[in-house]
Chain A
Amino acid sequence: MATNKTVGKTNTLGLTREDYKGNKSTLCPGCGHDSISNQIISVAYDVGLKQENVIKLSGIGCSSKTPAYFLGRSHAFNAIHGRMPSIATGATLANHELTAIGVSGDGDTGSIGLGQFKHMMRRNVPMVYIIENNGVYGLTKGQFSATADAGQELKYYGKNEYPAIDLCMEAIVGGATFVARSFSGHAEQVRALLKAALAHRGTAVIDIISPCVTFNNNPNSNKSYDYGKANEIPLHEIELIPEGFVPEREEISIDPDKMESYEAGQEILVRMHDGTFIRLQKVGPDHDPRSKAQALALLEKVGMEQLFLTGLIYYEEPRPTLLDTLHVVDTPLARLQGDTLRPPKEALDKLMQSMM
């Protein structure tokens, strides 16, 4: 954790890491979700995120409680089960200058909220959407969720007979423009992905396997810490390179459709909308996240072979966001006042005249 290194230090906004914390967590000690909250705090501190411009949104679940535990100076909305995407849609429509960070669970997103999740991505609502995926419903005491693998067993609920829903696959098919998978035990990668997602313009989905220590941490569950530690295969090391910092020579262009395998240590630079780059230094299997076909094929393989691959799975040049498509004024709608909100009396009189 970054705490030790930063004691007493301040970031670009003159704030300490402490200033980015929220209330004390009330989750079970060791819950994977807490470690994700910590990475959010670290990243926000590192990049000098202005908390007053951030909104934290969530549904219902242990995971959805976590916005209370980070960024205490940000407005938050802990809404209802599975419906956070619609709240995010409305809030970002009302004020497009806000940075929206959503936290959801695999139940919240993959079951009750699957419809809203997909429609949010289809509309390209600009936000970071984090799924804290533990394969169970933590808050209702350990029922299977839709991301539990077929064949998995739980003490009380027995065997899960149904295939898992892969939320990254759903995200890509649904139209998300940034899709990643990570592991809450892999703090460094979570941070790198969060940084990249925050820089992205559009829906950025990060599906983070986040063990539920109380209901689903048996080593033979593929959502457990032990399993994750033993089996995680990172695709690449991820680093965000700010605009203007990329040495010319390093930009190698690979046609994703005809990509030949590239050597370990070789890298892919993904250019983002504002000139920032995501540097992906290969450490695992070949993968170019700029190819939808590759991304889907990779996830298909992941499902067949039960692989725990992590990293940036899919990236797409940002499409217009929902707001871009609506042709509304540049000033956030929430800030419009007086005359802009009410047409003049003459406009009404003219209209009435035309109806007589």
Chain B
Amino acid sequence: MGVIDLPAESQMQQTGERIVNDFSFMVATKNGSGSQTSNSTIVRALFKMGIPVNGKNLFPSNIKGLPTWYTIRVSKDGYTARRSRVEIVVTFNEMTAAEDIVNLPPGGVCILPQEWNWTKSRSDIIYYEVPVKDTVRQFDIPTERREQVSNMVYVGVVAKLYDIPLETIHQALSDQFNGKPKPVQMNYQVVEAAYHWAADNLQKLDRFHIEPMDKTKGKIIITGNEAAALGALFGGVTVTAWYPITPSTSLVDAMLDYKHLRRDPVTGKDTVAIVQAEDEIAAIGMIVGAGWAGARAMTATSGPGISLMSEFAGLAYFAEIPIVVWDVTRMGPSTGLPTRTSQGDILFTYFLGHGDTHHICLIPGSVEECFEFGWRAFDLAEQFQTPVFVLSDLDLGMNNWMAEPFQYPTEPINRGKVLDKEALERFIAEKGEWYRYRDYDQDGISYRTLPGTDHPRAAYFTRGTGHNDQAIYSERSTDWVQNMERLRRKFENARKVVPQPVVDYDAGKQIGLISFGSNDPAVQEVRDRLAAEGIETNYLRLRALPLTPNVHDFVLNHERIYVIENNFDGQMAQVLRMEIPGDTRHIRSLALGDGLPMTPRWIYDNIKRYEGK
């Protein structure tokens, strides 16, 4: 697919018009050079100016040296999807500079170090050369910090050229460093010097402008992984076991950062245990053991980890043990692209485990939902006594997103059907018995007891082997089938309880779009664009598997359905075709899967192609 952008996005062309709050920056640096601080500072400053902004890190699987890019989209209309084109590049990496400016539109901007003495190959763009070394040299900065602080030079220049007040930059830096005066000052002095240098030496020639707005008031800015960690902490997680893997690591890091939320003020001790396991098999094993014993237990991982977890996932499903597994998806197969985003684990995770296994999967589409599913996943897991997978992705998990402040959990903690000593006594008095896997309520969900329940009849034998409803080993076909039928009943009930899709439906429109997860901003934007051209669409955003019944209606009520997803095989389209009872030949799969966040441009081109307009 080409890199031209949606028509209205690049209305700049050569018209000379002022373009305010509607363009993108790209910052090209070397990985490990500390540019993340500078980029976040710009994003936070723009956010503080009330301008809708989204930052995305496109980074290599490398600790130091390889090229890395950061894109910042400023959108007065509040669009946060990735655009395939940028108007302004800060090229601080000589290795990629030539490539980085190729795609700039005429009238675009390139900010680069003066000391490169670079041949300016394009006459249709504007170059701003800035003395990086000389600016930094004025200050006494420890050698090991020098590279990172050098990146503050572009912050200062960008601030001057695009009218970001120094004061706002200072506040953003202060946020970055949690108010610690020393690092704030060390970085700020460089920003300030670069700003003043730009004021004295640069003449603004481009047409891009930043103007304060009031569109971010009352909003927060946060990554999906941090949101998920907070959700879990407010959801009563008590045991987390994990093994580091990008892009899920920052989820557990955030749990460690915010663990104080779960500190008992009297004793100073925590109500959550976080253990780094020796691998993902042990990580899930620990939470299965913990979930069985009554903890609210979770892990966070990504592709390779999910692969390793499959045997335990099947055990937890079959032995009916509540656990929560976050899969912050990265690009597979195999080690794949460890630092690139993907939605490619849908089919594998939905059916994780050998035999007839299927799992509840939650699919957050925003950081707000990362928070919400962070706590809700535990309630579902305990209600249904089963593993719950949360399918986030790298784009959602690791990038900073604007969001409404998170809503405090709207429902009390649901620990499901657990019989403590007294409840067990009452149960037996009433029913004359209690058997672990007997379907007393005809909803497929049976009653469990926790180890340590002080009652001579509380114990039962948990196993992954065939069992009857008394939890006794059985190889009888009838016992096997009866158990599987109950598990199916349970799953069918879950269908009605999992988060419902978000539907925008108008009878009379013939095109239905279905998508999920981090694609949402791109889909929203493309719908606006298509509508402006007279192509009206309905939209259903899935938030969970199994599919809820209204998904069937949505699919069957349209002439054409486009399933937009960020994997190569069109996995969600396959799920829809598999589960929807009826003719699904009108489902068309729009599956990207190139490692980058979905762009409106790509969706637009594809839909236009099929709609033949």
Q: Please indicate whether A and B come from the same complex rather than being unrelated chains.
A: yes
Report how far A337 CA is from B235 CA in the complex, Å.
Answer: 11
CA distance A57 to B315 in the complex (A): 14
Residues in B with CB closer than 8 Å to A356 are: 218-220, 405
> B452 touches which one: A93, A98, A329 (CB < 8 A)?
A98
Known: A52-B456, A77-B462, A333-B295. A322 touches B285 (CB 8 A): no
In the complex the two chains form, is A355's CB within 8 Å of B222's CB?
A: yes
Given contacts A338-B412, A342-B236, A343-B261, 10 further A-B contacts (CB under 8 A): A74-B459, A85-B285, A94-B289, A326-B273, A327-B269, A333-B238, A333-B290, A334-B290, A334-B295, A355-B222
Q: Contact at B452–A352, with CB atoms within 8 Å? A: no
17 A–B pairs (Cβ distance < 8 Å), ordered by A: A52-B452, A52-B459, A55-B452, A76-B460, A78-B462, A86-B288, A93-B290, A94-B291, A95-B450, A116-B281, A328-B270, A329-B270, A333-B273, A337-B415, A338-B413, A345-B408, A351-B261
Q: Nearest-CB distance from B377 to chain A (Å)?
A: 14
Instruction: Let me know if B70 is at the binding interface, CB within 8 A.
Output: no
List, in ascending order, chain A residues with CB within 8 A of B264's CB.
Answer: 329, 340
Given A323-B273, A328-B270, A341-B271, A83 contacting B239 (CB threshold 8 A): no
Give the docked Cα–Cα distance between A119 and B278 (Å): 7
**Known pairs A90-B291, A342-B413, A352-B405; A75 contacts B459 (CB<8 A):** yes
Taking CB as reference atom, which chain B residue is nearest A56? Answer: B461
Cα-based distance from A302 to B273 in the complex (angstroms): 41
B489 within 8 A of A: no
Q: Are B451 and A95 in contact (CB under 8 A)?
A: yes
B292, A87: Cβ atoms under 8 Å? yes
The answer to whether B273 touches A351 (Cβ under 8 A) is no
Interface residues on A, range: 35 or more
User: Quick check: B295 and A72 within 8 Å, CB to CB?
Assistant: no
Give A75's nearest chain B residue, CB to CB.
B451
For the complex, is A332 an interface residue (Cβ under 8 Å from B)? yes
The 5 closest A-B CB pairs, nearest first, are: A86-B285, A90-B289, A334-B294, A341-B236, A90-B290
Q: A90, B287: Cβ atoms under 8 Å? A: yes
Chain B residues near A98: list those with CB within 8 A: 293, 451-452
Q: Which residue of B lies closest to A344 (CB)?
A: B408
Bound together, the chains give a CA A326 to CA B450 distance in angstroms of: 23
Question: Are B452's CB and A76's CB within 8 A?
Answer: no
Question: Does B210 sit within 8 A of A, measured CB to CB?
Answer: no
B50 to chain A, nearest CB (A): 11
The complex places the Cα of A355 from the Cα of B216 at a distance, in Å, of 12
With A and B bound together, what is the CA distance between A322 and B286 in angstroms?
A: 12
Judge whether A158 is part of the interface by a CB distance below 8 angstroms: no
Q: Which residues from B are CB-within-8-Å of A340?
A: 264, 271
Chain A residues with Cβ under 8 A from B461's Cβ?
67-68, 76, 78
In the complex the two chains form, is B458's CB within 8 Å of A75's CB?
A: yes
Most chain B CB within 10 A, of A72, A87, A119, A335, is at A87
* A40 CB → nearest B CB, Å: 15
Interface check B127, CB cutoff 8 A: no
User: Which chain A residues lie closer than 8 Å to B233 at the CB level?
Assistant: 343
Is the Cβ of B289 less than 8 Å from the Cβ of A86?
A: yes
A300 part of interface (Cβ distance < 8 Å): no
Beta-carbon contact of B295 and A90 below 8 Å: yes
Contacts of A95 in B (CB 8 A): 293-295, 450-452
Contact call A91/B293, Cβ cutoff below 8 A: yes
Q: Which of A72, A86, A328, A338 meets B273, CB within 8 Å?
A: A328
Residues of B near any A CB (own CB < 8 A): 218-222, 230, 233-236, 238-239, 241, 258, 261-262, 264, 267-275, 277-279, 281-297, 311-312, 315, 319, 375, 405-406, 408-409, 412-413, 415, 449-465, 472-473
A119 vs B241: C-alpha distance in the bound complex, in angstroms? Answer: 14
Instruction: Evaluate contact between B452 and A87: CB separation under 8 angstroms.
Output: no
Say whether A94 contacts B456, CB under 8 Å: no
Asked whether, in the complex, the Cβ of A329 is within 8 Å of the Cβ of B267, the reply is yes
Compute how far the CA of A172 lies from the CA of B238 in the bound complex, rounded to whole angstroms: 31
Binary per-residue interface labels of chain A (49-88) against chain B in the complex, 1 for a CB within 8 Å, 0 otherwise = 0011101010000000001100011111111100101111
Instruction: Determine if A116 and B289 form an interchain contact, defined as CB atoms under 8 angstroms apart.
Output: no
- When distances are taken between beta carbons in the complex, the residues of chain A under 8 Å from B241 are 86, 89-90
Select from chain B the residue with minimum beta-carbon distance to A71: B459
Establish whether residues B311 and A341, one from each chain, have CB atoms under 8 Å apart when the complex forms: no
- Taking a contact as CB atoms closer than 8 A, the residue among A51, A68, A77, A116 that contacts B292 in the complex is A77
In angstroms, Cα B293 to Cα A335, docked, is 10
In the complex, whether A347 has a CB less than 8 A from a CB of chain B is yes
Instruction: Flag if A80 contacts B464 (CB, 8 Å).
Output: yes
Query: A23 vs B468: C-alpha distance in the bound complex, in angstroms?
Result: 15
Cβ–Cβ contact A351 & B285, under 8 A: no
Contacts of A252 in B (CB 8 A): none
Residues of B within 8 Å of A275, CB to CB, are: none
Q: Are A80 and B315 in contact (CB-based, < 8 A)?
A: yes
Inter-chain contact B454/A94, CB cutoff 8 Å: no
A94-B220 in contact given A86-B277, A341-B296, A343-B262 (Cβ < 8 Å) = no
Interfacial chain A residues near B270, Cβ < 8 Å: 326-329
User: How near does chain B come to A64, taking the closest CB pair, in angstroms?
Assistant: 10
Q: Secondary structure of the A side of the interface? A: helix
Given A72, A97, A116, A326, which contacts B275 in the complex, CB threshold below 8 Å? A326
The docked-state distance in angstroms from the alpha carbon of A109 to that of B472 is 25
Residue of A nearest to B321 (CB): A77
List residues of chain A with CB within 8 A of the CB of B219: 356
| Distance between Cα atoms of A332 and B296 in the complex (Å) | 12
Which residues on A sit within 8 Å (CB–CB) of B218? 356
The one of B220, B291, B412, B452 in contact with A355, judged by C-beta atoms closer than 8 angstroms, is B220
Distance of A271 Cα from B264 Cα, bound (Å)? 35
Flag whether A336 is at the interface (Cβ < 8 A): yes
A 152-190 to B, binary, CB cutoff 8 A, 1 in contact else 0: 000000000000000000000000000000000000000
Contact B261 A94 (CB under 8 A): no
* A83 to B308 Cα, complex, angstroms: 12
CA gap between A88 and B277 in the complex, in Å: 13
Could you say which residues of chain B place their CB within 8 Å of the CB of A351? Answer: 230, 258, 261
Roughly how many angstroms separate A78 CA and B472 CA in the complex, as a whole number? 12
Query: CB distance B238 to A341 under 8 Å?
Result: yes
Q: Are B282 and A86 in contact (CB under 8 A)?
A: yes
How far apart are the CA atoms of A89 and B234 in the complex, in Å? 24
Does A115 lie at the interface of the complex (its beta carbon under 8 Å from any beta carbon of B)? yes
Q: Which residue in chain B gives the minimum CB-CB distance to A78?
A: B463
Across-interface contacts of B287 in A (CB, < 8 A): 90
Residue of A whose beta carbon sits closest to that of B462: A77
> Are A334's CB and B452's CB within 8 A?
yes
Given A52-B453, A95-B294, A90 and B458 touching (CB < 8 A)?
no
- Name A335's closest neighbour in chain B (CB-CB): B294
Partner of B464, one of A79, A91, A352: A79
**Cα of A323 to Cα of B415 in the assembled complex, Å:** 24
A330 interface hit (Cβ, 8 Å): yes
Question: B285, A333: Cβ atoms under 8 Å?
Answer: no
A315 and B281 CA atoms in complex are apart in Å by 30
A353 to B220, CA, bound (A): 8
Contacts of B415 in A (CB 8 A): 337
**Known contacts A98-B293, A327-B270, A330-B269; A91/B451 CB under 8 A:** yes
Whether B285 lies near A90 (C-beta < 8 A) is yes
**Cβ–Cβ contact B293 & A90, under 8 A:** yes
Question: Does A7 have its Cβ within 8 Å of any Cβ on chain B?
Answer: no
Tell yes or no: A304 within 8 A of B by CB: no
User: A214: shortest Cβ distance to chain B, in Å?
Assistant: 20
CB distance from A262 to the nearest CB of B (A): 40
Which residues of chain B are within 8 angstroms of A77 by Cβ–Cβ distance?
289, 292, 319, 462-463
Q: How close is B478's CB to chain A, nearest CB, in angstroms?
A: 20
**A348 sits at the interface (CB 8 A):** yes
Report A-chain residues with C-beta under 8 Å of the C-beta of B236.
Answer: 336, 341-342
- A141 and B457 CA atoms in complex are apart in Å by 35
Q: A341-B413, A351-B230 are in contact. Are A83 and B312 (CB under 8 A)?
A: yes
Shortest Cβ gap from B424 to chain A (Å): 11
Q: Which residues of B contact A55 (CB under 8 A)?
A: 293, 451-452
In the bound complex, what is the Cα–Cα distance between A63 and B187 (angstroms)?
63
Bound form: Cα–Cα A170–B524 in Å? 58
* Cβ of A20 to closest chain B Cβ, rounded Å: 12
Tell me the nearest residue of chain A to B221, going by C-beta: A355
